Amino acid sequence: MPDLRPAYLIHGDDHGAVAERRAGLRALSESREGGGASVELLEGEAATPAGVADALAAMTLAIGRRVIIVEGVERWREDDVKKHLAAAVAQMPPDTTLALFAREEARAKAPAALHDAVKRAGGQIVAQMTVKPWELAKWAREQAARLGLSLDAAAAKALVAQVGERQQRLLRELEKLALEGDPAEVAPRRIGVQDIEGRAAHSTEWRAYALADALVGQDAREATLSYLRLRQQGERLSGLTYLMAQRLRDALAVALRLQAGESVAEVRRGLRMPPRAAERFVADVARSDVERLRAALAALADLELDTRGGAPLASSRTALAAMGEDTLALRAIEAIAG
């Protein structure tokens, strides 16, 4: 099992990859030496340069290695790192690992002083950056080669079109394709368009969120087309309703923050999604209003009730409860986005 370094800084705008690194480091820590290591998590108000320095200086009764995981370092200021934390990282206690995670976007980035401190401590810095959409096919071919697959250009484009633009999903599909091969085979296994179309999973969740985003952005045509495509794939209405409601609740929360006077930049920084997606989402919400979003959630609640046969009491049921679920769904989409 690999030894843990004194410090790690995992940063970048690929938030999914940063989260995977965090989960992997925690799993590695907890599996060490049979009994595992002592894992502490600092987040929110405790996750400041001064708070981390205090944690490093604090005594602990835990046996074995101590791992301190810190979230949100993209919000730290350069001067605070130099003043409170740089010296503490330079004198890391024995058998201690400090893991710092920064989900970066726009101007919210891990300070340069933090990079320097981790380097001086003999730590590791890992950048997890999103690949531009037009570079994803090339990236997929590179990842395939690393896994022992030969993915031609047409197959790489088909993979991106079918699975979506999330790098983690693309990589998972490539890993599944690699597992199907013969372990004794030395030469890279060729993967063509037919292999992709027959084996790689469609990005259902990604497309469902595209439907939900179209509702937020009041794009009735796109919402209708997205819904019909998803239903043709065999997706259940109950699952789609859940995802649509989840996205609209997120939109309502953003609308309330904007109404309370928070700046667009502040709101975007608080969203757990890629920078471009967050920018589009907040822009769509800004063009809407709180009451419309509340009405949209009420329409989805009615849709869920009507597709389950309507209200328990026959006298309380609407005439819509007798309609087919696709008709009900399309009427709700029109009411929300039209």
Residue 88 is predicted with a pLDDT of 94
Q: Where are the beta strands (DSSP E) in the chain?
A: 7-12, 38-42, 66-71, 96-103, 124-127, 149-151, 189-191
Query: What is the second-level CATH architecture of the domain 7-127?
Result: 3-Layer(aba) Sandwich (3.40)
As a dihedral over the C-alpha atoms of residue 252, residue 257, residue 261, residue 263, rounded to 10 degrees, the angle is -110
Q: How far apart are CA 251 and CA 267, in angstroms?
A: 11
Q: How far apart are CA 213 and CA 284, in angstroms?
A: 8
Taking the chain (338 residues) in runs of 10, the rounded mean pLDDT of each run is 83 83 79 66 89 89 82 93 95 92 88 96 91 90 91 90 77 83 68 78 62 88 87 74 88 90 85 77 88 92 76 50 75 89
CB distance 121 to 93 below 8 Å: no
Residue 233 is predicted with a pLDDT of 61
CB distance 299 to 248 below 8 Å: no
Neighbours of 30 (CB within 10 A): 13
Matching residue, tokens 């096919």: 137
Q: How far apart are CA 220 and CA 114, in angstroms?
A: 47
Neighbours of 73 (CB within 10 A): 26
Q: How far apart are CA 289 and CA 271, in angstroms?
A: 19
For the chain, the domains span 7-127, 133-199, 204-337
Matching residue, tokens 């595992």: 36
Give Rg (Cα) of the chain. Answer: 24
Residue 313 is predicted with a pLDDT of 46
Q: How far apart are CA 27 and CA 22, in angstroms?
A: 9
Residue 114 is predicted with a pLDDT of 97
Specify the CATH number for 204-337; select among 2.60.40.10, 1.20.272.10, 3.40.1360.10, 3.40.50.150: 1.20.272.10
Instruction: Identify which of 305, 266, 244, 252 has the alpha carbon closest to the alpha carbon of residue 107.
Output: 266
Instruction: Identify which of 224, 222, 196 has the alpha carbon closest to the alpha carbon of residue 333.
Output: 224
Chain centroid, CA 5 distance in Å: 26
Q: Angle 266-268-272 (CA atoms, 0-180°, nearest 5)?
A: 125
Provide the whole-model pTM. 0.51
Instruction: Identify the CATH number of the domain defined by range 133-199.
Output: 1.10.8.60
